[in-house]
Every structure is written in C-alpha cells, then in structure tokens.
Structure 1
Amino acid sequence: MQQLMTREIAKTAPRLYEQDGAEDPTVYAHYFSCMNGWDWWLLEFDGTDEAFGLVEGYDDELGYFSIKEMEELNRQMGFAAVERDEHFSPKPLSAVRRR
C-alpha cells in the first residue's frame, strides 16, 4: 500500500505552528479519499503523526488530522481509502483552496 508520509515530506514540511500567522502558507502534500471526496492539504507536521492543514469535507476548515489514522483506515479497508497525490508539488494555500 502507498506510503502516506514519505521521509522527504516529513523532513521538508514545517513543524506545527511554524507557519502560524503566515499570510499564504505553503502546502507540502495533498491527500484525498476516493470514498467520500474529502481532501487534506498538509501545511505542517509534528514529525510523527499529527498534521495541520486545510481539510475540505463537509466544511472547509483549517484543522488537525492524523496520518496514522489514515494509514490504519487503509489497512482496515484493505485498499487505499485515503491516497497521497504523488504528483503534487508544494505551492501556496491560495493555489489549492476551493473558491
């Protein structure tokens, strides 16, 4: 199954709160679900599990999400319910946010 958090992303993404207050923070990874149409745009990462970013689901909001919970869901389902966009490259949040 696909690795959701690569070493490169973990090393490159700022730690939690490092982009706090930035006018247009940088997004470092994009995750999406084929099951419910949700998207997660990673802005910051704690280095082990917890991520912070834009979550587009029922509502669009900045919040925390767990990479380990996504990986566990994939294991339980037996397929990639949540996937990482392998072709995504870092860009400003304004470039990915729904209008």
Structure 2
Amino acid sequence: MSKLIPQTLLSDIPDLYETEGFLNPICHVKLFTPDSNWTWYIIEFSKADTNTFYGYVQGLESELGYFTLEELESVRGSLGLAIERDLSYKPISLSEIKV
C-alpha cells in the first residue's frame, strides 16, 4: 500500500462515513511534518479507493476534513522533509487531541 501507512494499520481504521454522527471518534494514526507545525490525525479511510482519508488537521487552522494519501506523500515541509508517521502514537479520542 504505502510506506507512510502500512496495511496492518489501515485494516483497523473505520471505513469512510462509518463514524458519521459520532461526537467523539477515535483518531487512529498521527502523521506530521517534522520541519513545520502541521499534523494529521486519521479517523476514517476509504476502503473503496484506498486513497481518501477523513480526519482532524492541525496547521494554520485546526479542522476536520478530507485529504488523500497521494496528497500527503507529495507534501514537503520548509526544509524539504516528507511527512512521517508518529510511531509511538496510540489511538485516542478526538476530544483528547482538541484539548
């Protein structure tokens, strides 16, 4: 699948729209740019197209939204570093991240 998010992690993430209506969904994966202040928390993943994610993004603003794996793999921070997955991250609820 991807070097950024291994298949073993993707199988544990709910399908797109599966958590719709949940007030406090679980953020399963944390991605970040090591040379800037952007962070992506993955809540859902489209099992149909294997490219689309829904989650919480912290950057210039903090918001829920959609992003693609293709997009994430092309992003570079200010020093040219690629997005990385936080290997020590454990899934937690959205409300714990938004604190």
TM-score, length-normalised on structure 1?
A: 0.84
Give the match's secondary structure for 2:74.
Answer: helix
- Alignment partner, residue 56 of structure 1: 58
After TM superposition, the structure 1 = structure 2 runs for residues 1-99 of structure 1, keeping only pairs within 5 Å, are 3-47=3-47, 48-73=50-75, 80-97=81-98, 99=99
Larger helix percent: 1
Give the match's secondary structure for 1:12.
Answer: coil
Q: How many residues get paired?
A: 93
* TM-align CA RMSD: 1.8
Give the match's secondary structure for 2:57.
Answer: strand
Measured in 1, the distance between the counterparts of 2:22 and 2:55 equals 13
Runs of 4+ in 1 over 2 A off after TM superposition: none
Gaps (5+ residues) in structure 2? none
Instruction: Give the share of equivalent positions with the same residue, in percent.
Output: 32
Instruction: Give the Å deviation of 1:80.
Output: 4.3
**Which amino acid in structure 2 is aligned with residue 62 of structure 1?**
L
Measured in 1, the distance between the counterparts of 2:36 and 2:3 equals 20
TM-score, length-normalised on structure 2?
A: 0.84
Measured in 1, the distance between the counterparts of 2:67 and 2:36 equals 16
Measured in 2, the distance between the counterparts of 1:73 and 1:95 equals 26
